[in-house]
Amino acid sequence: MLVRALYLSAIWFALSLFATLILGARLRRRDSGLSLLWLGAVILIGNLVATFTFGRFFEIFGLSFFAFVFGLFWIVRLKDWNVFGQVTWAMTLITTGLFVFYTSLLTAFSPLNPLSFIFALIFFALEAITLLMALAHMHESLDVVCRIRWHRLVEKLEPVPGYMPMVSLQVPAYNEPIEVVQKTLYSLAKLNYPNYEVLVVDNNTPLQETWRPLEEICRELGPQFHCLHLDQWPGYKSGALNFAVTQTDPNAEIIGIIDADYEVDPDFLRELVPAFADPQVAFVQTPQDYSDHHGDIFSESTYRGYKYFFEVSMPSRNERNAIIFAGTMGLIRKSVLEEIGGWDEWCITEDAEASLRILKRGYQSLYINRAFGSGLMPFNFEGLKKQRFRWCFGGIQLLKKHWEALMPWAHWVDPENKLTQAQRYYYLVGGLGWFSDVFNLLFAFFLVLGALFNLLSSPVQIRPLTDTILIIPAVFLLLHILRFLWVLRNRLKVSLGMAVATMYNFFSLGWAVTLACIQGLVQREGVFLRTPKSQTSSKAWRAIQVTQWETAIGLLCMLSGLLAFGSDQNWRTFSLCILLFWQGSLYVAAPLYSLLSLNNQAPLEVPVMDQGRPVLEELAARWVVAICMFLIAAFSLIAFLPAPTNLPDYVRFLPIDLSPQEPELVNSEPEATATPAASLTTPIATVTVESANCRARPRGGAERITILYRGQELEIVGRNDDVINPWWYVKIPDTNDHCWLWGMTATMTGSMEDIPIR
Amino acid sequence: MQPKIKPEVTPLLEEVQRLVQRGEREKAYQSSLRATSLAPDEPLAWYLRAQAAPSTEEQLMCLSRAYSLDSTAADTKKELRTAIHGLLKQEPFLAYVHETEEFYQVRSGRDLLINIPKNRVFERPYLRKARGLAEPAFRWLTLSLLALFLGGVGAVLLAPFTAFQALRLQTVSGSRSDRIRLWIVFSLSVIIWLISIPISWLFLIRFYP
């Protein structure tokens, strides 16, 4: 029943999602009648498919009733979404819930040895967390595309007459090329706002020739421009910014942070400052934009990758007052910054960390989705990789520091913590979301291992590879990829090709994110990634070298998939091969993007901020290698440990798999082939598990007559009256005795029609 | 608490104030030198000496000293800021020397040691935060959770131990937050224990199928 319910809900999920992909962004109104009608239609269409394939009327009715009530609940809850978003969300939840329940039963009752069971348990936990993360992504996507009513969306702030508080704009700089900072400062000099100062804070730039010209430029631009060089300053960017607060004009009420490579729109302050007329508003953030994308795949997809956060995540977070301060192109109230104790010098992403502490005090934040300036992106893949490593590392640091403030019991422990449930959710998911790439690598590893053990004919099972376990995750994967492409196309207004390129750009950084997650967990203080040094002058070779790990992982995935399918060609190894190719492509994308970025000539060498201690990629990867080695050793041990000699009684609790071929099997005619007629007309059961009990009656607890072993072929002389949970009455070889063999432990060849029911 | 001014210095300080008001800076400076040598821990003496100081460098040094002795004096803070501002206009170089909860100590490009007020509440850096009372209980809870994935058997043993730890620490905990934390640890360990029973049963039957 569970499996049938799972397939039915998967049909509902697929149906509702496909409709959302086509119409979800177009329907801009909400109607309760329409919502009910669409919910009923999705359920009905799914039921029709189910009835004509594997369905049983009462089961379908029961599940449909539950789905309808559940859908109704979400229609009422999600009043600001259109009907497509509401129904898709309800169906996603049902399918995910059923699949998690299915895998939990599979984990609990599969015939495994104790070590396999431990691995199955860990694998199940990973799988459940990954599915929860996928749910979070689905929610975010539907929230921004299917939302028809925004409560906190501000297109343009109304000016407040007479409200022109003093603003101190701080420009942190470290080893920046003077031409870049000059452009930034010139753009700041043109700001259309009467009451501001600019403080250029250069920290730790070693050479006087690099920072001294800043002093000259500030003098040239007038008395409201100030320059400061901080030497041997601790705390990196946040340390410098904390000091800068001491040097701001005492009359300044607002502080703005502008990265040294940003050219700012003259209306930046005039448009944003009115937000601070509300004393509850603590900070305002605008999107970061970039000017150096030239139409090539690397820079365009990188550009869209950055935009994703500001077009999808931030609007969704803004609806719940849960945005982050993104470090540049944002304004923050000085008194609030002083109240929270300034920027955290321990955290690499001090901006996001400060926003959490501000929201914790109950202040408001505001996101204005209009870019007021543009900066420079990392011009090659190496720079992008280092930057992503830094962001992720900071995200993990934030999680480590504030995990308790994000827990459901946070209010009890700290009554001053004013974070709402939604704010806690967004910050928690934001931090945990980084681990998706770790899980992705683990899954790739499990798949490679599965392929290799298959190749060596050494069956290591942590879970029986049922049809459902191959089909449903594939459906999830496909639907979530489509959903990702859909949200990219809709929010970023890009072609399908560019959406695919952007998606791969995201995934190609998975290795860097994985390393950062692990480093974030094991390291106390900030580190930055140092890619391998090149001994060659060849740019192409250098591009490959900085992605050597990704290349190796990607090729290993693809090769093992090919070998598994080549050695044993069946649909399961084919599925495995496809999955491994997909996983491999995510990693192989890294060297491709690295090579593509060769076309980008950096107009000026803009360094990616390296904060903290350097960590060599090889050293960071040692943790991953160690985990892999441990898993290989443990898996090898499983292979040597004996599997259960008998089919244990507890397997009767296993959800019976529903083979999609079964209904056809019942009606199929024996095919005419060149093989002897007897082998076609005589149904044969072949044992597929290490050993199976053959029993006196067709049920788990019945008396055992004999034990059958893997590969043994037995003539089927009868069956029970249950096509979903079949038991074969087989003739024991070399005797005249018979016994019952459970269908899950054997494959059947021949026509089911010819087998008499006993 | 502001320490009382030494009685022998009071007339001297009043004299400096008078002389500064009259514009007799040289005489005021001589008197302030005597005042700071008589009472080197008196912030007002340093503040008044800064008023009469003949150079920007000395003015900064005196204000800086005055501020380090009394970080609550608003006038000192304000004048120190103006003086630093003036200095940085001429030479923007500052090297880090040291910092306290209230000020940075820096060395300027002209080799002056200056104390600069921080102007913000002090937040203890995360890594230097003291361990909470509930931390050992949380550590046991983490172990119980990990043991849950190792077949559940470990959690059957560790979870009660965690609960016991939480209850034991309850008796010594002082703060309300810690008591709540410990109750949460207790509740979670009970939940883990309840989950661990079926899991360990499923694990153990693998040995006796």
For residue B18, what is the domain's CATH number? 1.25.40.10
Neighbours of A197 (CB within 10 A): 19
Chain B CB contacts of A109 below 8 Å: 202
> CB-based contacts of B34: which residues, under 8 Å, 6+ apart?
B12
**The last residue of a domain, from among B87, B117, B147:** B117
Residues B154 and B192 reside in one and the same domain: yes
Helix (H) / strand (E) containing B43: helix B43-52
Residue whose C-alpha is closest to residue B85's, from A248, A61, A214? A248
Residue A18 confidence class, pLDDT cut points 50, 70, 90 = very high
Query: A552 Cβ partners below 8 Å, 6+ apart?
Result: none
Residue that finishes a domain, picked among B82, B117, B152: B117
For the question of whether the overall pTM of this predicted structure is more than 0.90, the answer is no
Nearest Cβ partner for B205 among A243, A250, A650 = A650
Residue B123 lies in a domain: no
Q: What is the pLDDT of residue A666?
A: 31
**pLDDT tens-digit series, residues A202-219:** 998 888 888 889 999 999
- Give the closest residue to A723 by CA, choosing from A743, A699, A703, A751: A743
> Looking at CA atoms only, how far is residue A251 from chain B in angstroms?
12
* Distance from the Cα of residue A509 to its chain's centroid: 12
For residue A243, which residues of chain B lie inside 8 Å, CB to CB?
Answer: 104, 116
Q: How far apart are CA A145 and CA A731, in angstroms?
A: 61
Cα(A457)–Cα(A460) distance, integer angstroms: 9
CB A261 within 8 A of CB A176: yes
Q: Are residues B178 and B111 in the same domain?
A: no
Residue A670 has pLDDT above 60, yes or no: no
- Burial class, B208, CB count within 10 angstroms (exposed 0-12 / middle 13-18 / buried 19+): exposed
B176 and B86 in a single domain? The answer is: no
pLDDT greater at residue A652 or residue B107:
B107
- Average the pLDDT over A30-37 and give the result: 89
Using CA coordinates, name the residue in chain A closest to B93. A229
For residue A712, name the pLDDT band (cuts at 50, 70, 90).
confident
Q: How far is B126 from chain A (nearest CA, A)?
A: 7
Q: Please write the tens of the pLDDT for every residue from A276-297.
A: 999 999 999 999 998 877 778 8
- Assign A196 to helix, strand or coil: strand
Q: Which residues 6+ apart lie within 8 Å of B40 measured at CB?
A: none
Instruction: Please tell me whether residues B20 and B66 are part of one structural domain.
Output: yes
**Same domain for B111 and B167?**
no
Asked if A682 contacts A714 with a C-beta cutoff of 8 angstroms, the reply is no
Distance from CA of A90 to the nearest CA of B (A): 28
Does residue B209 lie within any of the structural domains? no
C-beta atoms of B93 and A229 within 8 A:
yes
- Interface test with chain A among B81, B89, B126, by most A beta carbons within 10 Å: B126
Single out the residue in B117, B152, B174 at which a domain terminates: B117
The sign of the dihedral angle between the CA atoms of A209, A211, A213, A215 is negative
Same domain, B107 and B38: yes
B125 in a domain, yes or no? no
What span, in angstroms and rounded, lies between the C-alpha atoms of A484 and A616? 33
On the question of pLDDT at A677 being above 70, the answer is no
Write the residue in A215, A409, A524 that is nearest to B92 by C-beta: A215
Are A339 and B121 within 8 A, CB to CB? yes
A412 contact residues in B (CB cutoff 8 A): 180, 184
Residue of B nearest to A230 (CA): B94
| B139 and B105 inside one domain | no
Distance CA A130, CA A441 (A): 12
Which residues contact residue A672 at a Cβ distance below 8 angstroms, ignoring those fewer than 6 apart? none
What is the nearest CA distance from A437 to chain B, expressed in angstroms? 21
Are A403 and B126 in contact by the 8 Å Cβ rule? The answer is no
Chain A: closest CA distance from residue B49 (Å): 24
Asked whether residue A757 carries a pLDDT value surpassing 50, the answer given is yes
In tens digits, chain B (209 residues) has pLDDT values of: 455 667 778 888 888 889 888 888 889 999 989 999 888 888 999 999 998 888 888 888 999 899 888 888 888 888 888 888 888 888 889 999 998 888 899 998 888 888 888 888 887 777 777 778 888 899 999 999 999 988 888 999 999 999 999 999 888 877 888 899 999 999 999 999 999 999 999 998 888 76
Q: Are residues B67 and B148 in the same domain?
A: no
The pair of three-digit structure tokens given for residue B204, joined into one six-digit string: 């153990």
Candidates A62, A744, A56, A168; CA nearest to A464 is A744
Kindly state whether residues B32 and B96 are assigned to the same domain.
yes
Per-residue b or e along A341-378, where b marks 16 or more CB atoms closer than 10 Å to that residue's CB: bbbbbbbbbbbbbbbbbbbbeebbbbbbeeebbbbbbb
CA distance linking residue A382 with residue A543, whole number of Å: 8
Distance, in Å, from the CA atom of A385 to the CA atom of A376, rounded to the nearest integer, reads: 15
**How do residues A267-276 score in pLDDT, each as one tens digit?**
999 999 999 9
Helix or strand or coil: residue A268? helix
Quick check: is B39 in a domain?
yes
Q: Where are the alpha helices (DSSP H) in A419-460?
A: 421-432, 436-455
B141 falls within a domain? yes
Q: Which of A112, A234, A413 sits opposite B181 (nearest CB)?
A: A413
Q: Which of A232, A245, A247 lies closest to B120 in CB terms? A: A245
CA distance A336 to chain B (A): 10
For the ranges A186-200, A464-478, B77-91, the maximum mean pLDDT occurs at A186-200
**Which B residues 145-164 touch A at CB under 8 Å?**
149-152
The answer on B98 and B42 residing in a single domain is: yes
Q: Which long-range contacts (CB under 8 A, 24 or more apart) does B53-57 make?
A: B53/B29, B54/B25, B54/B29, B56/B83, B56/B86, B56/B87, B57/B110, B57/B112
The pLDDT score that the predictor gives to residue A135 is 95
- Token pair belonging to A25: 């962004």
pLDDT band at A678 (very low <50, low <70, confident <90, very high): very low
What are A97-124's pLDDT values in tens digits? Answer: 999 999 999 888 887 888 888 888 988 9
Task: Go through the domains of chain A in sequence order and give each one's CATH number.
Answer: 1-149 (no CATH), 166-377 (3.90.550.10), 437-643 (no CATH), 661-754 (2.30.30.40)
> Quick one: pLDDT at residue B111?
85
Measured between CB atoms, does B65 come within 8 Å of chain A? Answer: no
Tally of structural domains, chain B? 2
> Nearest CA of chain B to the CA of A508: how many Å?
31
B126 part of a folded domain: no
Q: Counting beta carbons within 10 angstroms of the beta carbon of residue A433, is it exposed (0 to 12), middle (13 to 18) or buried (19 or more)? A: middle
CB B95 within 8 A of CB A229: no
CA-nearest residue to A105 within chain B is B202
Of A122, A346, A413, the CB nearest to B149: A122
pLDDT given for residue A662 in this prediction: 35
Residues of A in contact with B149 (CB under 8 A): 118, 121-122, 125
Residue A664 has pLDDT above 50, yes or no: no
CA distance B183 to B166: 7
Chain B residues close to A701, C-beta within 8 Å: none
Q: Is B125 close to A125, i.e. CB distance below 8 A? A: no
Q: Kind of pairing, strands A263-264 and A225-231?
A: unpaired
Of A118, A243, A246, the CB nearest to B151: A118
Of A121, A229, A645, the CB nearest to B149: A121
- Note whether A246 contacts B96, CB cutoff 8 Å: no
Partners of residue B117 in chain A, C-beta under 8 Å? 246
Asked if residue B17 and residue B85 are part of one domain, the reply reads yes
Partners of A284 in beta bridges: A331, A366
* Residue B111 in contact with partner chain A when CB distance is under 8 A: no
Angle of CA points A580, A582, A583, to nearest 5°: 65
**Cα angle for residues A448, A450, A453 (degrees, 5° grid):** 105
Q: Is A162 left (phi over 0), alpha (psi -120 to 50) or beta?
A: left
> Considering only CB atoms, which chain A residues are within 8 Å of B126?
344, 346-347, 401
Cβ distance of A346 and B127 shorter than 8 Å: yes
Average pLDDT over residues A476-499: 94
Name the minimum distance, in Å, from the CA of B7 to any CA of chain A.
36
Q: Do A243 and B104 touch (CB under 8 A)?
A: yes
Asked if residue B59 is part of any domain, the answer here is: yes
Out of A139-143, A235-239, A678-682, B22-26, the most confident range is A139-143
B window 83-102, beta carbon within 8 A of A? 84-85, 88-89, 92-96
Q: Which residues of A touch B88 (CB under 8 A)?
A: 226-228, 247
Based on the fold, state whether residues B101 and B140 are members of the same structural domain: no
Q: Tell me what pLDDT residue A659 has.
A: 44
Task: Answer yes or no: do B209 and A646 touch at CB < 8 A.
Answer: yes
Q: Do A344 and B125 touch (CB under 8 A)?
A: yes
Hey, which bits of A74-204 come out as E strands? Answer: 166-173, 196-203
Judge whether B55 lies within some domain. yes
CA-based nearest residue to A470, from A95, A9, A103, A726: A103
CA distances from B70 to A117, A153, B20, B42 (A): 66, 48, 22, 9
Q: What is the rounded CA–CA span in Å between residue A360 and residue A401?
A: 13
Domain ranges, residue B155: 135-204
The 3-state secondary structure of A545-592 reads HCCHHHHHHHHHHHHHHHHHHHHCCCHHHHHHHHHHHHHHHHHHHHHH
Contact A112, A651 (CB under 8 A): no
CB contact under 8 A, A342 and B95: no
d(CA B164, CA B193): 12
Cβ B206–A117 below 8 Å, yes or no? yes
